């Protein structure tokens, strides 16, 4: 066991060193030579200090992501092989004989332990964004968000994992398909209630205060056959200087949302382009396509996890202490496998997302016919968020759900309605 732990830690250290070399010495984040001097060249809209800060911030941020993700996998693995998960189960069963309460106690021990072990990565990320003036959020406000996030995730994951264990106990061969069937209504429900129940836990929403701008946006919505009565703005200036806008919810709970920082730092025509982009997601039914893709991917995921759990319990169950039928200690294994599957499949899901974003950009430029404002919007987005204009390939593949800013700017600047979609 000691050898397994030592090898795991050694591999993680070697991986961390390779990622450090990749992001800080091995990857060139500069744009291709042929784009130098164009509107996509950051030297044309960032000063020298902003260019340096953007390079530093992006490199550290990406490094933390690729360091933090496998760290979570290792923690889950060690929880199994070192018997931590089994010990939590023993403690829970020593307190009460009621299985539901036992699992609640076990899952609380497990969740709070995971939260505390991963907390340093989150804290460093918070401090990083503060140091580079992306975040202006106080530590107390940030901790409030972390606490809310913990309890929201705990409640949802507790219910999901409890039901999953019951299904695994009742049906050894078909639990994965029953579990997937239950995710269908749950996914639709959560997507429907997110704008009115979950999002307000973190942010303050209100109808757009600039009524003249709202009227222009609603005119665009009417032309696009979008049944919208309000555009919402969210108070993000007390937390960040970055810009964002998004569409969320389904059915009558659909909302188009602008951060107040976006309203402060973009001109009206640039905001209109952003709004047209968000309307495109509604018009193109990207939310519904996203739900469908998510459910399809999750079906494959449940099947893959089912096969791997069966194999691991059969071959390595004793060593990893996950051999017992219905044992709570299998939870880290399930979460580890689902997380690994999600990471492995992310290049595909990110590619689909980037395709939809290109569709939305095309729709927006066709609606506004304002190439200059579209380009200016993305230049400001990169400048204020210290975003890398042309990130390294690993980042594009595993992190980016949107096309690189260099690609978006060049596309929008040259778009004349004749480019093949």
pLDDT in tens, 281-340: 988 999 889 999 999 999 999 999 999 998 988 888 787 777 766 789 899 999 999 999
Q: What is the pLDDT of residue 72?
A: 96
pLDDT at 2 over 60: yes
Query: How would residue 9 be classed by pLDDT, with cut points 50, 70 and 90?
Result: very high
Query: How would residue 417 be classed by pLDDT, with cut points 50, 70 and 90?
Result: low
Binding residues for Zn(2+): 277, 281, 357
Pairing relationship of beta strands 232-234 and 245-248 according to DSSP bridges: unpaired
Q: What is the pLDDT of residue 419?
A: 45
3-class SS at 138?
Answer: coil
Q: What is the pLDDT of residues 71-126, one digit of tens each?
A: 999 999 999 988 899 999 999 999 999 999 999 999 999 999 999 999 999 999 99
pTM attached to this predicted model? 0.89
Query: How would residue 420 be classed by pLDDT, with cut points 50, 70 and 90?
Result: very low
Q: Residue 127: CA atoms inside 13 Å, Cβ hemisphere, count?
A: 7
Distances in Å between the Cα of 310 and the Cα atoms of 94, 231, 305, 325 are: 28, 49, 8, 11
pLDDT at 243 over 50: yes
Residue count (the chain): 421
Cα–Cα distance measured from residue 353 to residue 388, given in angstroms and rounded to the nearest whole number? 19
Q: What is the pLDDT of residues 362-390, one digit of tens each?
A: 999 999 999 999 999 999 999 999 988 88
Question: Looking up tokens 């800060």, which residue turns up?
Answer: 53
Residue 386 per-residue DSSP state = T
The angle subtended at Cα 312 by Cα 306 and Cα 318, nearest 5°, is: 135
C-alpha closest to that of 161 among 207, 218, 103, 219: 103
Q: What is the pLDDT of residue 319?
A: 79
Query: How would residue 27 be classed by pLDDT, with cut points 50, 70 and 90?
Result: low
Cα–Cα distance measured from residue 225 to residue 308, given in angstroms and rounded to the nearest whole number? 47
Q: What is the pLDDT of residue 325?
A: 64
Q: What is the pLDDT of residues 175-212, one digit of tens each?
A: 999 999 999 888 888 888 888 787 888 888 888 888 89
Tokens matching residue 282: 């509604």
Active-site residue numbers? Answer: 278, 361
Q: What is the pLDDT of residues 147-160, one digit of tens each?
A: 999 999 999 999 99
pLDDT at 395 over 90: yes
Interval 244-272 mean pLDDT: 85
Pairwise pLDDT comparison (30 vs 34), residue with the higher score: 34
Lowest-pLDDT range of 6-15, 231-240, 265-274: 231-240
70: which residues sit within 8 A by CB, 6+ positions away? 12, 15
pLDDT at 31 over 80: no
- Torsion of the alpha carbons at 12, 13, 15 and 20, rounded to the nearest 10: 140
Binding residues: 277, 281, 357
Q: What percent of the chain has pLDDT over 70?
A: 96
pLDDT at 418 over 70: no
């Amino acid at each position: 066991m000691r050898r397994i732990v030592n090898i795991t830690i050694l591999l993680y250290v070697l991986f961390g060193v390779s990622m450090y070399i990749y992001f800080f010495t091995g990857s060139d984040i500069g744009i291709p030579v042929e784009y130098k001097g164009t509107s996509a060249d950051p030297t044309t809209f960032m000063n020298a200090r902003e260019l340096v800060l953007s390079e530093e911030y992006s490199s550290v941020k990406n490094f933390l992501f690729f360091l933090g993700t496998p760290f979570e996998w290792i923690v889950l693995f060690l929880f199994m092989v070192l018997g931590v998960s089994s010990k939590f189960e023993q403690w829970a069963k020593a307190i009460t004989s009621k299985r539901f309460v036992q699992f609640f106690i076990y899952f609380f021990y497990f969740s709070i332990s995971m939260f505390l072990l991963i907390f340093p990565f989150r804290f460093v990320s918070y401090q990083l964004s503060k140091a580079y003036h992306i975040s202006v959020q106080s530590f107390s406000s940030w901790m409030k968000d972390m606490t809310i996030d913990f309890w929201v995730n705990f409640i949802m994951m507790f219910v999901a994992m409890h039901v999953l264990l019951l299904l695994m106990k009742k049906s050894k061969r078909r639990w994965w398909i029953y579990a997937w069937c239950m995710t269908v209504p749950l996914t639709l429900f959560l997507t429907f209630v997110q704008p009115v129940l979950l999002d307000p836990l973190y942010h303050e929403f209100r109808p757009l205060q600039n009524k003249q701008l709202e009227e222009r946006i609603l005119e665009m919505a009417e032309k696009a056959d979008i049944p919208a009565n309000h555009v919402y703005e969210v108070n993000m200036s007390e937390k960040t200087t970055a810009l964002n806008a998004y569409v969320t919810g389904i059915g009558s709970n659909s909302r188009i949302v602008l951060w107040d920082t976006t309203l402060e730092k973009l001109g009206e025509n640039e905001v209109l382009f952003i709004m047209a982009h968000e309307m495109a997601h509604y018009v193109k039914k990207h939310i519904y396509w996203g739900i469908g893709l998510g459910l399809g991917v999750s079906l494959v995921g449940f099947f893959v996890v089912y096969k791997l759990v069966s194999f691991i319990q059969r071959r390595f169950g004793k060593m990893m202490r996950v051999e017992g039928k219905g044992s709570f200690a299998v939870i880290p294994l399930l979460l580890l496998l689902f997380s690994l599957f999600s990471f492995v499949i992310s290049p595909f899901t990110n590619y689909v997302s980037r395709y939809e974003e290109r569709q939305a950009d095309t729709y927006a430029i066709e609606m506004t016919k304002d190439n200059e404002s579209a380009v200016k919007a993305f230049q400001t987005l990169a400048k204020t968020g210290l975003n890398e204009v042309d990130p390294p390939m690993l980042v594009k593949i595993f992190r980016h759900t949107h096309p690189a800013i260099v690609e978006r700017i060049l596309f929008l600047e040259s778009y004349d309605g004749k480019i093949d979609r």
